[in-house]
């Protein structure tokens, strides 16, 4: 067994030591387990700095019992339902967005937290880009989504979901552009009476 000293910031050491105790592990075993995991991720081309974001995203997805299906299958399913009952399907996606807000707010209390969480979600969802950023007006945001479905029907459903999530965070969409797989929108903080 090799023995070495590693220097870390005091705050990192204290948190690491605290977590080892909570898990009822020695510092030695907890450090070996942690470093082994980071080494394996790196060896397979992964980025260890993404670990926390992945864990946080998986935790959120577990809370809503997500089922993973191939995106092409989901697009076809949405297109069939869209043809049969467009308004009903859009309402289902809007209702889903409203239900997700409570779970999302556990990890992201405000719109800035949601913007950070979006970076982690892109790793696990079939999206190429999901970006929420502040515009010049501090009460407004810009949203850019690429990969929101392979058909216009799926993209419209994604937009209905987005609208209700933003509404749950106190924002209303003021303008938008939707094309197959892409959504660009602006939203402003609602003024409550």
Residues 37-64, mean pLDDT to the nearest whole number: 83
pTM for this entry: 0.75
Asked if 70 and 123 sit in the same domain, the reply is: yes
Say how many domains are in the chain: 2
Asked if 65 and 102 sit in the same domain, the reply is: yes
Cα–Cα distance for residue pair 20/27, rounded to 1 Å: 6
**Domain range for residue 139?**
56-189
The first and second tokens of residue 189, run together, are: 């903080």
Q: What is the CATH number of the domain that holds 64?
A: 3.30.1380.20
Asked if 23 and 74 sit in the same domain, the reply is: no
Which helix H or strand E contains 142, and what residues bound it?
Answer: strand 140-146
Asked if 40 and 121 sit in the same domain, the reply is: no
Asked if 27 and 120 sit in the same domain, the reply is: no
Asked if 140 and 177 sit in the same domain, the reply is: yes
How high is the pLDDT of residue 193?
Answer: 44
Residue 166 and residue 172 in contact, taking contact as beta carbons nearer than 8 Å? yes
Condensed to tens digits (0 to 9), the pLDDT of residues 109-164 reads 999 999 988 888 777 677 889 999 998 888 999 999 999 889 999 999 999 999 99
């Amino acid at each position: 067994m090799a023995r070495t000293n590693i220097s870390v910031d005091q705050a990192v050491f204290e948190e690491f030591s605290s977590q080892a105790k909570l898990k009822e592990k020695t510092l030695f075993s907890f450090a070996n387990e942690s470093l082994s995991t980071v080494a394996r991720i790196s060896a397979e081309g992964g980025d260890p700095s993404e670990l926390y974001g992945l864990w946080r995203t998986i935790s959120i997805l577990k809370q809503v019992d997500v089922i993973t299906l191939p995106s092409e299958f989901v697009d076809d399913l949405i297109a069939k339902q869209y043809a049969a009952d467009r308004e009903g399907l859009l309402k289902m996606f809007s209702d889903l967005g409203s239900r997700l807000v409570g779970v999302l707010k556990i990890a992201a209390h405000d719109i800035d937290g949601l913007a950070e969480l979006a970076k982690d979600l892109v790793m696990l969802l079939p999206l190429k880009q999901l970006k929420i950023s502040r515009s010049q007006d501090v009460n407004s945001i810009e949203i850019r989504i690429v990969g929101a479905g392979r058909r216009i029907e799926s993209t419209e459903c994604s937009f209905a979901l987005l609208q209700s999530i933003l509404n749950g965070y106190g924002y209303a969409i003021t303008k938008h552009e939707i094309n197959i797989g892409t959504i660009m929108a602006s939203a402003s903080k609602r003024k409550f009476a």
